[in-house]
């Protein structure tokens, strides 16, 4: 969900939109259309691709708006109260792993945690960031507040991690912080010449550390009979809406609604654009 900052999402999606518009050729580039589309099949194929991107953007946007609404509309209660009510609630508690050895070590900052996400990108002035690599991993975990304990089973989309950014400029620093077997860099990500470049490398990582206080929005459910846990209830992303955040809930809500509105508008624009691309081909199909 929010392991990616809205600004980065905005830049990526805007670049996608501009590339699509230029590809279609309806927007002049330097006074001339980049491409003229002729024929029924090319228009149908291109329209279908644009429509798919638009629907995907709107779906993601709707999910982000739902995240925002769930955060702002749920009351913060104790874990025991949330379990007793059995409805959507916002709870806070300290994180501990299911078992002492059921933890992760984050690849950039080497923090003991139950979830992490990272991105490595080249910072290009006036051109945004160019992604080199990214990754994430998570484990189920327990949270408790002294009144009760809940087992939380997140997925990648339900995590909203507070990201720490570090910019590196020397080759030695970059190699030292990325020479880790847990960071599976893409084959094209050749870092050997970065030390001679004027572009900095940005390392961003968010973790959900053991012992950290976390806020969870979700619906408690009964512990399954086959679950190996002594928790009083469970919250999972598969059973109902789930948001796990270790930063300020108001900030998370603001990021979610900003991202959601942007993606909804972008998806609507692309969907309308797809209709305009396909429309001239309809008479030939009738």
Write the DSSP assignment of 120-147 as a string of letters.
EEEEETTTEEEEEEEEEEE--EEEE-SS
Mean pLDDT of 256-264: 89
For the segment 177-199, the average pLDDT, to the nearest whole number, is: 52
Alpha-carbon distance of 205 to 195, in angstroms, equals 22
Region 176-182: what's the mean pLDDT? 59
State mean pLDDT over 177-205. 59
Q: Scanning the structure block, which residue is given the tokens 């905005």?
A: 10
Angle at 60 between CA 25 and CA 206, to 5 degrees: 115
Confidence class of residue 137 from pLDDT cuts 50, 70 and 90? very high
Mean pLDDT of 22-51: 62
Tens of pLDDT along 37-80? 556 777 788 888 988 999 998 998 888 888 888 888 888 899 99
Give the model's pLDDT for residue 5. 45
Query: How many whole angstroms separate alpha carbon 284 and alpha carbon 286?
Result: 6
Q: Residue 204: which of 261, 165, 176, 233 has the closest Cα?
A: 165
Mean pLDDT of 194-198: 50
Q: What is the pLDDT of residue 52?
A: 92
232 vs 180, residue with greater confidence: 232
Q: How confident is the model at residue 26, as a pLDDT?
A: 46
Specify the DSSP element, H or E, that contains 81.
helix 79-85
pLDDT, residue 35, reads 43
What is the H or E stretch that residue 214 is in?
strand 213-218
Alpha carbon of 281 to those of 33, 34, 36, 41, 285: distances in Å? 19, 20, 14, 8, 7
Query: Could you tell me the pTM of the whole model?
Result: 0.68
Angle at 37 between CA 32 and CA 43, to 5 degrees: 145
Average pLDDT, the chain: 77
Q: Is the confidence at residue 83, as pLDDT, over 80?
A: yes
Between 120 and 124, name the one with better pLDDT. 120
- CB–CB of 236/147 below 8 Å? no
Beta bridge partners of 29: 32
Q: Are 163 and 247 in contact (CB under 8 A)?
A: no
């Amino acid at each position: 969900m929010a392991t990616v900052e809205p600004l980065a999402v905005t830049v990526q999606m805007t670049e996608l939109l501009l590339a699509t518009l230029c590809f279609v050729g309806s927007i002049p580039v330097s006074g001339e259309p980049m491409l003229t589309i002729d024929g029924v099949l090319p228009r149908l194929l291109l329209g279908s691709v644009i429509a798919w991107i638009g629907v995907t953007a709107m779906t993601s946007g709707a999910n982000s708006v739902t995240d925002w609404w769930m955060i702002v509309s749920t009351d913060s209660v104790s874990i025991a109260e949330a379990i007793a009510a059995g409805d959507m609630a916002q709870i806070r508690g300290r994180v501990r792993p299911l078992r002492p050895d059921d933890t992760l070590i984050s690849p950039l900052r080497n923090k003991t945690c139950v979830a992490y996400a990272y991105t490595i990108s080249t910072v290009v002035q006036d051109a945004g960031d160019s992604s080199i690599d990214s990754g994430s991993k998570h484990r189920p975990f327990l949270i408790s507040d002294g009144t009760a304990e809940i087992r939380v089973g997140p997925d990648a989309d339900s995590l909203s991690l507070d990201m720490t950014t570090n910019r590196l400029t020397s080759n030695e620093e970059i190699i030292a912080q990325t020479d880790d077997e847990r960071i599976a860099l893409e084959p094209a990500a050749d870092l050997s010449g970065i030390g001679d470049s004027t572009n900095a490398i940005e390392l961003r990582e968010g973790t959900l550390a053991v012992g950290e206080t976390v806020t969870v929005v979700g619906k408690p459910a009964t512990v399954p009979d086959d679950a190996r846990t002594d928790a009083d209830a469970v919250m999972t992303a598969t059973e109902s809406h789930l948001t796990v955040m270790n930063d300020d809930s108001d900030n998370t809500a603001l990021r979610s609604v900003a991202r959601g509105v942007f993606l909804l508008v972008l998806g609507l624009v692309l969907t309308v654009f797809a209709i305009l691309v396909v429309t001239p081909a309809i008479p030939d199909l009738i």
